[in-house]
A = this chain, B = another copy of it.
Amino acid sequence: MDILEFGKQVLSSQPFSLLVGAELTAFSQGRAELRIPVTPHLKQQHGSVHGGVLSYAADNALTFAGGSVLGPEVVTSEFKINYLRPAQGTDILVRAEVVSSGRTQAVCRCEIFAVSDGKEALCAIALGTIAGTSRAKHES
């Protein structure tokens, strides 16, 4: 099974990702891309996609990017997100990449776009740390 198929299986084993409707659209060494089709359920009171959907997307894309270099047992230690403009469109697209990684953690960043008529508008940016948990299980 290739890494993208494996990643899709991981994503589909997360009930909350199913609830949100996230899809893994690219996954390779150091990179991950998630797409979330915008449905009415994902909005806030003014019709934009809720910031919580974007922070979910950042969290998960960062984790997949980190997992691509650290292995499948990873968690987000922390991240920061800056919202740049209201997210309006048909899809949310998140592209994450590893900035630097060691044996037990990876620093990753991502950009979050709202897609409308095929045009991508950058609506948030995030930076965070992903930690491997397989060692922690045995050592902590």
Interface, chain A (partner B; CB < 8 A): 10, 13-20, 40-45, 49-53, 55-60, 63, 75-86, 99-100, 102-105, 107, 109, 122, 125, 127, 129, 136, 139-140
A140's closest neighbor in chain B, by CB? B103
CA distance A77 to B81 in the complex (A): 9
**Max chain B CB contacts within 10 Å: which of A10, A53, A83?**
A83
CA distance A18 to B29 in the complex (A): 36
Residues of B within 8 A of A42 (CB): 15-16, 19
Chain A to chain B: the 7 pairs with minimum beta-carbon distance, closest first:
A52-B56, A16-B50, A55-B55, A80-B80, A13-B45, A84-B100, A78-B82
Known: A100-B122, A122-B99. A80 touches B50 (CB 8 A): no
A102's closest neighbor in chain B, by CB? B140
Known: A102-B140, A103-B140. A77 touches B129 (CB 8 A): yes
**Max chain B CB contacts within 10 Å: which of A18, A45, A60, A63?**
A45
Measured CB to CB, the closest approach of chain B to A103, in angstroms, equals: 5
CA distance A102 to B136 in the complex (A): 10
**Max chain B CB contacts within 10 Å: which of A78, A83, A122?**
A78
Residues of B within 8 A of A52 (CB): 16-17, 20, 52, 55-57, 59-60
A45's closest neighbor in chain B, by CB? B13
